[in-house]
Amino acid sequence: MKKESIYLLLLIICMVSCVENPNVTEEVYLENPNSVRSWVVGLKRRLAVTTNSVNVNVAITSDNYFNNYSQYSKVFDVPQIDYFDLDVNSLQADVQALREMAVYGLDKIIPADASSTPEDEAFMFFCQAYANILGGELFTGLPEGHLGEVRTPEETLNRALQNLDDALNLESDAEKIAMYHLLKGRVYYNLGEAALAIEEVQASLSSPSLLYQIEFDGQNGVRNEMQNAVFDALPNRLAPLPRLDFLDPKYYSVGTPEADQKPVALAKAEEAYLILAEALLSQQNNAGAKEALRSLLSLVSERPVILVDDSGETRNGGNRDDYPLTAVPVRFDSAGPYREGFVLDRQAGDIRVHTISGTSVTEEDIAAATTTDELLYQIYLLRQEIFIGEGRRLTDLGIRYPVSQTEQDNNPNVPDSYTVAQIPSFIPGSGGLDNFTADAAGKITVTTDMNKVIVENKTSAEVIPFF
């Protein structure tokens, strides 16, 4: 087996970790009658590892969280995204390793194991699809395989559609079929194909409370790193933008963190309604968009809310010491009104934790929105709040990571044009995405309302794909 590629090296490590004997060879592994079963276990572990890498890096690079400690990237908050940055390379390697594991499983493991099932094969196509979705959303381009030519985001996303169709042709479980349709809707959303996106998300709503989650295992070295960053580690490493304070933490532990690792949503029905609303809005169907958003709010109201003791949270990471610690008013920018309920007093008692989805948007907000831009604003505020901690915000901001220097150094097919990050001109620099001020009374003003900025730039190629 070739070892020139960092992704194939990771693949070999993952393959060995799936069996008991660390000295097993590829030939012996393929002869194992349970090779598919163990490979699926390894893929689930790889999904968790990749999810950790995506969630933490996207949280920091976006306006959702500030890295208020010495852990993780020190420059993504700027945002400064260099192709030689080790975090860029690690993120790319994790996404590529997931895809390579899936491809290897399909090409080598499935044909060698007579006990494999169509559902096993469908799961591997799903993993390949999800890696391609992440590659298409998060990077300026990615090689299609070992030393391959760089594919554009659009090409990578179209490959994900093929993978999902392959999974759909094999899958028999209704919930997973709905999930694959939702992922296809997500891809068509990214490609700007409103009619096709509507078709897919409506198919996914055959499972009206759809929720597919990535599981973690703290006792075997695969913790939920977002949970660690926002709750378990002291001091907590990531601090949310103050207007998102009420949604932090999404993940928490009771007792020992090792024994209580919360899952992360990979796909949930809320996204179907968000895509449907935006697609209908792009077709000038404002009434239909509002109805979809009202259905969304009804679903969110049914998601679990847990009371949690978060009195250990002091926002005292050290990089910035002016995060509010009591319930103070906050405004989204200097032009907006001060609003209550966004910053919580965690010393006053247990706080409400939205474990799947939460939002500040109300039915009254939807009813009051009359113009396209006003409805788009509500949609992107909903997307930010509902997907917090799930690695989604960077795509809404139009930011993409570059192909890493390690890849270019080892792959002659990587042009320089792909080694430059995509950071739209409307993204504020110098930490502006996370910045805020407090007056003498402690009232908070967020420097930039990025949802307003996104809507103002809706015709830009980087954001709001249906417009």
Locate tokens 């070992």: which residue? 146
Q: What is the pLDDT of residues 70-104, one digit of tens each?
A: 889 999 999 999 999 999 999 999 999 999 999 99
Report yes or no: 342 and 245 within 8 Å, Cβ to Cβ.
Answer: yes
Q: What is the pLDDT of residues 355-394, one digit of tens each?
A: 999 999 999 999 999 999 999 999 999 999 999 999 999 9
Share of the chain above pLDDT 90, in %: 89
Q: What is the pLDDT of residues 131-173, one digit of tens each?
A: 999 999 999 999 998 899 999 999 999 999 999 999 999 999 9
- Provide the mean pLDDT of the chain: 93
CA 252 to CA 353: how far, in whole Å?
9
Report yes or no: 200 and 182 within 8 Å, Cβ to Cβ.
Answer: yes
Can you give the pLDDT at residue 316? 84
Mean pLDDT score, 253-276: 97
Cis before 249 (ω within 30)? yes
CA 166 to CA 311: how far, in whole Å?
48
pTM: 0.94
Half-sphere exposure of 41 (CA within 13 A, CB side): 13
Can you give the pLDDT at residue 64? 98
Q: What is the pLDDT of residues 181-230, one digit of tens each?
A: 999 999 999 999 999 999 999 999 999 999 999 999 999 999 999 999 99
Classify 6-456 by CATH class: mainly alpha
CA 419 to CA 366: how far, in whole Å?
41
pLDDT at 12 over 50: no
pLDDT at 3 over 50: no
Please tell me the least confidently modeled range out of 12-16, 330-334, 385-389.
12-16
For the chain, domain boundaries: 6-456
Residue 172 Cα distances to 121, 146, 169, 437, angstroms: 12, 32, 9, 53
